[in-house]
Chain A
């Protein structure tokens, strides 16, 4: 393909407000799960249409049907007045339907440019025009206002940056209908703003957009209309001006939540973990203490060194300098095994790469850290294996047909619940949660925060990493701000305002000045 920057602006073929795509009785069954019950819904050309719903409500399933990733069980899809089979992704793309999926589905070992043109490479006589492709890709990226290089390997970028590339990729192929499935889950504030600008621009060009998110404020910021799915059923569609947060939540979970951020204050006890001038790959000279009964929040942009810091505490990486104290005594943590033995637990950032054994059962994933406890010298206690798994499934309301379903068959948010759930029965003293609520729905978020309180009340300490400011802001007793591998500021519970914290986390200009002085 020889796309130029001009191709980015396809002339809108439809006057705004006409129905561009219509679902008639669209339905999807997986073995054991009725993921989408017959849905009727019409999308108007040029609108931003938000879809919200609990984890496992069927949002991603709907998208997979529209993009030809999965075949539908029954029903019809009408595209510009004509029935469309949508049997393959290729067909969907040819019509102008593109999607940015919940999990980045690109090739991590290829360059950004190669990924952008994957499937539509620019070649002359069968020879790839690599240089031209990089140049073109760079032009597109720059044009979109993303500050990213096109020649690097995709895997070298953060998940958020990869997501932006996926978005850029979806805009270059004469898109008329673009779907975003939780695009901001891994984005920093700044990246999210860039993405919103892009979305508004596309809308201006007449592109219809479906926007899926668990973050209500984004829905209200962007969308024209919003549809709510519950258990595979379309509960209703509202104009954004005629609804509010509470109503949507009520529609989503069929009950109301008075308070998402459940915060109990405990009197902090003795120090559990202390990091003294710790340095390692990606962070430098970090000192902090976590005491029993408190949540220590680490806020910063993705890539600020928070994950590296905690994985080093956890023995995954070597520290280069500094000291770690556990319950007041200096300790050497050489492996994850050491850390776990001391009493640490880590729910890592990336559920696909670090958190889950996707092609194994939900039960095995949940029990993985505690097999030692639920087996005698030789054998696993089957009864305990069952009850432990079922307890986490019930407590976290993990939506799965059985505990022996494969983890890969769960919806994104439900997979995330496993990553957290596996540590709850472990009885650790220090819990490290790295972006624990990515892709998790409102109701379950409230549930998870409640569980934090339970852990704290039992005398545990928590390190909570989040790039979503409201979350750390409302929950952390002590809030540390990271910027480029350094701990740059510390606040108490709600002692600083959002603006101040954001400035500290961003503050690129000031920092450069500061370094020169």
Chain B
């Protein structure tokens, strides 16, 4: 037998890193092409704008990725974002200190996530169904609460936050880092992260190995809900209004970012850096298309084609490496 020498951890890590680097290269390539072909892309203003656009989807994609790794899906995140803008707006307008208002909004996101976990674990509903139900009903609840009107937020400090920069980088982008680093540690260096993967790979085997499968599922959806509510707060700050119909279709952008970032919809494959890069690639394409005056309809088609191409090549290589 030839097991005497066990080489150090190589293929998987390498593969992950390699795929990450490929995505990064793609992003840089896009940036270079756009800076050369348009005059406005490389302007400080546009870059800040791009970072702001990408940041919110990026944070959503991180939460979404946790869920997808367990083999699930969270279709509700766009609706949660819209709903959270309403909650945040109402609380702030009611004179509650901003800090407390944000905390309470985040708790609402947690509650929604727990509800999803409950539906899946206790009621045995498929993730697709329970989160689809939340998607439609949350918008409805939000509309009831606001009577279909938008609520403008009357707190300047709150709105400043999303417009300001720190060290030349937009605050919104700092928020990606604020979420990304703990998320990375959580997914790749804590046992809960390992459990997310193992549950997504084989729930029964995990359970028999002592993994608390139910708690793991609760955790994934709760984190996704939390990320979505956080994005809701950021969006409220950026636009200055609470409106439950905002962030329409963001769940699909989050899923697309995650998938472009190498997450497998069959579960048990994914990372944190992948979806982040995926989100900024999507944002760059939209931004660039605007600058190049590409028809908005075409932007959607390009995005769709890109998803197919990237996932196809990723799949090819994964199969090749087996």
Contact = CB atoms under 8 A, between A and B. Distances in A.
A340 B210 contact: yes
Interface of A: 30-32, 54, 56, 231, 314, 316, 336-337, 340, 346, 348, 353-361, 363-364, 367-369, 371-372, 375, 378-380, 382, 386, 390, 393-394, 397-406, 408-409, 422
Contacts of B201: 357-360
B230 interface: no
Interface in B198-229: 198, 201-202, 204-212
What size tier do the contact residues of chain B reach? 35 or more
A336 B207 contact: yes
B208 A348 contact: yes
Given A371-B195, A397-B3, A402 B11 contact: yes
B202 A402 contact: no
Nearest to A377: B190
25 contacts: A30-B322, A54-B1, A56-B1, A314-B208, A337-B212, A354-B208, A355-B208, A357-B205, A357-B206, A357-B268, A360-B197, A364-B197, A368-B194, A368-B211, A371-B194, A375-B190, A378-B190, A380-B191, A399-B1, A399-B3, A402-B8, A404-B9, A404-B11, A404-B12, A405-B11
Contacts of A401: 7, 11
A429 to B, nearest CB: 15
A363 B6 CA distance: 12
Contacts of A31: 320-322
A361 B12 contact: yes
A379 B7 CA distance: 24
A399 B5 CA distance: 11
Contacts of A405: 11
Given A357-B197, A359-B201, A394-B3, A336 B210 contact: yes
Contacts of A403: 6, 9
A441 B10 CA distance: 28
B2 interface: yes
Contacts of B269: 359
Contacts of B11: 32, 401-402, 404-405
Nearest to B266: A359
Given A368-B205, A402-B6, 13 more contacts: A31-B321, A231-B2, A316-B207, A346-B208, A357-B197, A359-B269, A364-B198, A379-B185, A380-B190, A399-B2, A400-B3, A402-B7, A404-B11
B205 A355 contact: yes
B13 interface: yes
Contacts of A402: 6-11
Contact of B194 (A346, A353, A380, A422): A380
Contacts of B197: 357, 360, 364
Interface of B: 1-3, 6-13, 185, 189-191, 194-195, 197-198, 201-202, 204-212, 268-269, 320-322
A368 B3 CA distance: 22
Nearest to A422: B209
Contacts of A390: 6
A266 B10 CA distance: 43
B268 A397 contact: no
The 5 closest A-B pairs by CB, nearest first: A357-B201, A371-B191, A340-B210, A368-B209, A404-B12
A357 B198 contact: yes
A357 B191 contact: no
A406 B194 contact: no
A360 B268 contact: yes
A400 B269 CA distance: 21
A372 B191 contact: yes
Nearest to B192: A371
Contacts of A360: 197-198, 201, 268
Of B202, B209, B320, most A-chain CB atoms within 10 Å = B209
A378 B186 CA distance: 8
B263 to A, nearest CB: 13
B34 to A, nearest CB: 37
A359 B2 contact: no
A374 to B, nearest CB: 8
Contacts of A314: 208
Given A354-B204, A354-B208, A386 B9 contact: yes
Nearest to B202: A357
Nearest to A368: B209
B27 to A, nearest CB: 27
A409 B12 CA distance: 13
A316 B9 contact: no
Contacts of A382: 189
Nearest to B193: A380
Of B10, B202, B320, most A-chain CB atoms within 10 Å = B202
B194 A364 contact: yes
Nearest to B210: A340
Nearest to A419: B205
Contacts of A348: 205, 208
A393 B13 contact: no
Contacts of A422: 209
A358 B197 CA distance: 11
A417 B9 CA distance: 20
Nearest to B269: A359
Contacts of A371: 191, 194-195
B13 to A, nearest CB: 7
Nearest to B188: A380
Contacts of B6: 390, 393-394, 402-403
A253 to B, nearest CB: 8
Contacts of B209: 368-369, 422
A120 to B, nearest CB: 28
Of B198, B201, B207, B208, most A-chain CB atoms within 10 Å = B208
Nearest to B197: A360
A351 to B, nearest CB: 9
Given A360-B197, A368-B206, A379-B190, A409 B322 contact: yes
A409 B3 CA distance: 15
A401 B322 CA distance: 12
B198 A398 contact: no
B190 A358 contact: no
A348 B322 CA distance: 26
B204 A375 contact: no
A56 B268 CA distance: 26
Nearest to B15: A404
B185 A369 contact: no
